[in-house]
Amino acid sequence: MDAVPQREEGMTAYEMMLSESQERMLAVLKPGREDDGHRIFKKWGLDAAVIGMTTDTGRLVLNHHGEVVCDVPLAPLFDDAPLYDRPWLQPDLHARIAPADVPAPEVWEDAVLKVLTCPDMASKRWIWEQYDRHVMADTLQDSATGADAGVVRVHGTDKGLAVTSDCTPRYVQNDPYEGGKQAVAEAWRNLTAVGARPIAITDNLNFGNPQRPEIMGQIVRAIDGMAEACRALDFPVVSGNVSLYNETNGVAIPPTPTVGGVGLLPNYDVVAGFSTMAEGDTLVLIGETVGELGASIYLREVLGREDGAPPPVDLALERRTGDFVRGEIEAGRLTCVHDLSDGGLVGAAADMALASDTGVVLEATSAAHAHILLFGEDQARYLVAVSNPQEVLAGAREAGLHASVVGHARGDAFASTDLFSIPLKHLREMHEAWMPRWIEA
């Protein structure tokens, strides 16, 4: 402990070990690489010191001023530590809403604009454009370029890292278990949509007062769902934290188990986004649509309802669909890819149209059932834009997946046959305006 860099004289080992001072990291270096580490730290003007080594004793031993000041077994702190196990109640679950029981919108243009300009869906440019997202010029994709995950170059290599952060609190509110699964699955899907191989997640569990059994029930079931998804997708949790007791006047925040995911691009030149759609491209939806409208943006924004079970997450199908899409990206056959989540097909297609500055015409089978296809938030789905759809359609069929043509890129409007047509310029103005107007108000 004598070697630990200290800002004050006379600090005790207790203070050094338990202080929550910021901007500190502990690195484990391979034997013989200490000098390499020192050169890197010196280059960046950082204080660093070798303070110890790993052992096979299973104990943490601290030496300070020539004395052993701590010698404790590690197992009780980690593997054998007691679980946080407070009394909890099984959350009340919302019943599934049959798609046929959800009415179509009365005015289609109004419904589409309500969905695409609500707080969940509207542009957050007002926030992210105020920050330097291109430090060291390694940022390859971000919010401005149009992609489901940010991508940064790994210096001195051909590799790239993809990063994303995801959670849908309204799903967790209505079914914490399925909502927890979905948060992990969407992070996995967003990494996959840029061509990255998902590696691991960190989580930030935000809930109300755990001393209330109904809130503790949300925590328990959300973690259960997250754990199942992590196992099924080989997507381990490597770090995380909690923020509890988030309540005002006894009313808790929506349960928000946020998932941050990271993935690897073996070659950052082989990457996908959703801003490369071109005039004449065909839009292909990979994955089957049943029309899950429970806890959806459409249900809330257009019909004023927040009920219904969230879309179920079939983790085996999620993995099979994602592996197929990622394989097509790595093979160079897909470059314009967007996963479906909030807002369903309308949300994904509008994102692609705005990012690519190209109009879209979606094809719906009938006005009576179009809202099921266009606004359903079924999981394990990706929207891709291709010049020749036959290859991806055949590949999906061979992989045992459902795929269908759902539209085309053409014109200067965001539209669906015989239902609505919104000039892309107007949609962009409305999409960008929500946050500045809200801030001003």
Domains by residue range for the chain, with CATH: 13-77 (no CATH), 99-440 (3.30.1330.10)
- Of the listed ranges 165-174, 356-365, 381-390, the least confidently predicted one is 356-365
Helix 344-356, helix 108-116: angle, nearest 10: 70
CA distances from 45 to 38, 66, 307 (A): 10, 30, 54
Q: Which helix (H) or strand (E) holds 111?
A: helix 108-116
Token reading at 144: 């401005």
- Would you give the DSSP letter of residue 50? -
Q: Sign (positive/negative) of CA torsion 393, 394, 395, 400?
A: positive
Report the pLDDT value the prediction gives residue 82, as an integer from 0 to 100.
Answer: 85
Instruction: Please tell me the predicted confidence (pLDDT) of residue 128.
Output: 87
Which tens digit of pLDDT belongs to each residue from 203-229? 999 999 999 999 999 999 999 999 999
For the chain, counts of helices (H) and of strands (E) = 13, 17
pLDDT at 365 over 80: no
Residue 242 in this model has a pLDDT that exceeds 80:
yes
Q: How confident is the model at residue 132 (pLDDT cuts 50, 70, 90)?
A: confident
Residue 382 backbone dihedrals phi, psi, to 5 degrees: -135, 140
Is there a contact between 120 and 342 (Cβ–Cβ < 8 Å)?
A: yes
Query: What mean pLDDT do residues 249-273 have?
Result: 97
Q: What is the pTM of this model?
A: 0.88
Nearest to 343 by CA among 135, 120, 57: 120
Q: Where are the alpha helices (DSSP H) in 263-361?
A: 297-303, 315-330, 344-356
pLDDT value at 157 more than 80 = yes
pLDDT at 226: 98
Contact present, 89 and 214 (Cβ < 8 Å): yes
Give tens-digit pLDDT for 13-68. 999 999 888 888 899 999 999 999 999 999 999 999 999 999 999 999 999 999 99
Q: What is the pLDDT of residue 131?
A: 84
| 366 pLDDT more than 80 | no
What tokens does 110 get? 């109004």
Angle (CA) 412-292-117 rounded to 5° is: 40
- Find residue 258's DSSP bridge partners: 204
Residues 6+ apart with CB under 8 A from 8: none
DSSP, collapsed to helix, strand or coil, labels residue 207 as coil
Give the largest CA-CA distance in the chain. Answer: 83
Q: Report DSSP letters for 7-64, one per residue.
A: SSTT--HHHHHH---SS-----PPTT-HHHHHHHHHHTT----------SSSEEEEEE
Which of 2-6, 258-262, 408-412 bottoms out in mean pLDDT, i.e. has the lowest? Answer: 2-6
Within 8 A by CB and 6+ apart from 16, the residues are 1, 4, 6
pLDDT reading at 340 higher than 90: yes
Whether the per-residue pLDDT at 84 is higher than 90: the answer is no
Strands 413-416 and 420-423: antiparallel
Task: For the chain, report the end-to-end CA distance as a whole number of angstroms.
Answer: 54
How many Cβ atoms sit within 10 Å of the Cβ of residue 358?
A: 22
Percent of the chain predicted with pLDDT > 70: 99
Q: What is the 8-class DSSP label of residue 155?
A: T
Dig out the tokens for 28 from the structure. Answer: 């484990």
Contact 348, 280 (CB under 8 A): no
Please give the structure tokens belonging to residue 178. Answer: 């399925």
From CA 169, how far away is CA 199, in angstroms rounded?
A: 24
- Give the whole-angstrom CA distance, residue 208 versus residue 438: 26
Q: Which of 325, 415, 340, 337 is nearest to 377 (CA)?
A: 340
Residues 295-311, mean pLDDT to the nearest whole number: 98
Q: How far apart are CA 216 and CA 179, in angstroms?
A: 15
Distance of CA 408 to the CA centre of its chain: 27
369 or 286: which leads in pLDDT: 286
Q: Which residues pair with 55 in a beta bridge?
A: none
Q: CA-CA distance, 156 to 138, in Å (whole number)?
A: 11
Average pLDDT over residues 172-200: 98
Instruction: Compute the 3-state secondary structure of the chain and give helix, strand, coil in percent, each to the nearest 5.
Output: 35, 20, 45
